[in-house]
Amino acid sequence: MRVSILALAIAACFAVPAAAQTEAADATQSPPLAPRTADSGLPLTAAQEATGLPYLDLRLKVDPDTKTISGDARYTIDALAPLDTFEVDLDPRFTVTSVTVDGAAAQWEADAGRLLIPLGKALSTGDSAKVAIQWNGSPYVAKRPPWEGGFMWDKTEDGSPWIATAIQMNGCDVFWPCIDYPTKEIARLDSAITVPEGLVAAGNGTFAGSETNDGWTTWKWSARSPNTYAVALNIGPYDVYEDTYQSRFGNSIPLYFWYLPGNGEQAKTLMEEMKTYLDFFEDMIGPYPFGDEKVGLVETPHLGMEHQTINAYGAKFKPTPLGYDTLAQHEFSHEWFANQLTNSQPNDMWLHEGLGTYMQPLFQQWRDGEAAYLAAIVSQRASLINKSPVVPAEPISTSFYLDEDAGWGRDIYSKGSQIAHTLRGLIGDEAFFSSIRRLVYGRVDPRPGNFVPQFADTNDFQRIASEQSGEDLGWFFDAYLRQAALPTLIEDRDGNKLSLTWQTEGGTPFPMPIEVQVGDKTMVADMSSGSTVIDLGSDDAHYVIDPMAKVLRYSPYIARWQGWMVEQQEKAKKAKENAKTAD
């Protein structure tokens, strides 16, 4: 999603912008979302499972004065199995004014956030139909964008409308009728966004022209296979910076940055950085997945989001001590890990966020060397919570992300990154990066034009990594992803003998080898049985376990610090409550 925590020291760089905080206050005027609309990734119905989505012509009119929208969604649907009903999700605050099936007026039933549209006939597998839905109303206003998302009706410093959407947690049904599930991408989305003349609507995919009539301008875009939550509105009095990147794969990629007037030099500087990110990703992972469309950035009143080919950027060009824009780089990572590779169910969101977060330390290694990489890796470890498995056993939806007690919505970032780091150290660079390429592109030799969007889960990644490494890695994925607690290494020294034993939460096998430095020599301890005994050579020999921080494991030092932090927070909370009572 929006940002990775590389170090506690730079966490302040990622605070919610003032504009977003203002919008949160306005959100109190927006009635709460219906339970179904508030959640994304709920189980598909049989009819939704059976529905293919080859095409959508999506037309939206956005009125800043009334803070309303009206829309016309013209679907072509395919029957993946016998089908007699088209079921889509849509926020019930909207009024549906018309539905047609193959051009004829049709009935529909609104059911607490879902529209059920009888097709008037039974489609056999492979048959198609055209369904059009018209709706209008006042969309939900985001409470705490982008975390708790929706619409943002903001204004620039000169009072011009500045509008954006961010809907990862709530889903696409917050403002358009869709099947709100990761695998239900639309093969081709043509969008037409109508806004008051003088405003620009920067959209997903390739620009297809604009036209102005009676004080309104319609901006047209065409995108292939957009991730459903990555379809976004970005509207403002934008200027645009244009550039081109010559890919190492031989293709030329257009670059665009829609920025607010006055920010041209900063936009140009950041776009130069984007070229460096492109070179890094194409070198380490593979070709930019949407090179036939564009690399796009747009300034937004919220912090950021990985909207496909039009990444939202709201970090206000703040410098960081790392020497690059960590927000822009993280969101850009999601073009690979979210938009090209999409998790096939919400439980596997770490494939987006964890692998995307790992791209920041990896970028520092690529650009600055080993010391920068290890510093970034070590700095992530203090933020891990380890209360919930990274991949929960039971089906979840995106609402689990916001559960502070569970902590899952935080661990899928840095813990996911740490797991990637440890896996790389275990199986080596060749097997690791070939596994990542297969996961992202469906093949180890991606080139522009020879791959399609991928859907995958953790089991797929386990299978791929096992095949590429030639090892059964079930124990690794079980210990790190399907259990909450980190593996613990028990140390017991008796004179010159050091006993090491792994313990896991579920008592599952964990044959993770680990380095032990004794004096100026480093050995690899064979832990294939889960334990070993090492001869240190003398009773007073000094040793260091895992001197290069290759293995993610439980740290009593971090646990103690985290406990202390909780105590300080509780004390501060009580002091605030007492002060309030005294007043």
**243 token code pair:** 């550039």
Average pLDDT, the chain: 94
**3-state DSSP percent of the chain in helix, strand and coil, to 5:** 30, 30, 40
How far does CA 297 lie from the centroid of its chain? 16
* CATH fold match for the domains 345-481 and 488-552: no
**Torsion sign across C-alpha atoms 5, 7, 13, 17:** positive
Residue with tokens 């492109």: 278
Name the superfamily (CATH) of residues 8-333: tricorn interacting facor f3 domain (2.60.40.1730)
pLDDT tens-digit series, residues 386-432: 999 999 999 999 999 999 999 999 999 999 999 999 999 999 999 99
Q: Class assignment of domain 345-481?
A: mainly alpha
Q: How far apart are CA 174 and CA 166, in angstroms?
A: 10
51-63/188-196 β-pairing: parallel
**Residue 439 — left, alpha, or beta (φ > 0 → left; ψ -120 to 50 → alpha)?**
alpha
Query: What is the pLDDT confidence band of residue 233, given thresholds at 50, 70 and 90?
Result: very high
**pLDDT classification of 3: cutoffs 50, 70, 90:** very low
All structural domains of the chain with their residue ranges: 8-333, 345-481, 488-552, 555-583
pLDDT of res. 8: 32
Task: Given CATH 2.60.40, say whether it is the number of domain 488-552.
Answer: yes
Query: CA-CA distance, 237 to 222, in Å (whole number)?
Result: 21
Cβ-count burial of 258 within 10 angstroms (0-12 exposed, 13-18 middle, 19+ buried)? buried
Read off the pLDDT band of 579 (50, 70, 90): confident
Q: Is 435 exposed, middle or buried (0-12, 13-18, 19+ CB in 10 A)?
A: buried
pLDDT reading at 4 higher than 80? no
- CA–CA separation, 512 vs 545, rounded Å? 13
- As a residue count, the chain comes to 583
Cα dihedral: 543, 548, 552, 557 (round 10): 60
For residue 151, give every residue at least 6 positions away whose Cβ sits within 8 Å of its Cβ, in sequence order, or none. 67, 139, 140, 141, 142, 163, 164, 165, 174, 175, 233
pLDDT at 14 over 70: no
CA distance 445 to 520: 41
Which tens digit of pLDDT belongs to each residue from 72-117?
999 999 999 999 999 999 999 999 999 999 999 999 999 999 999 9
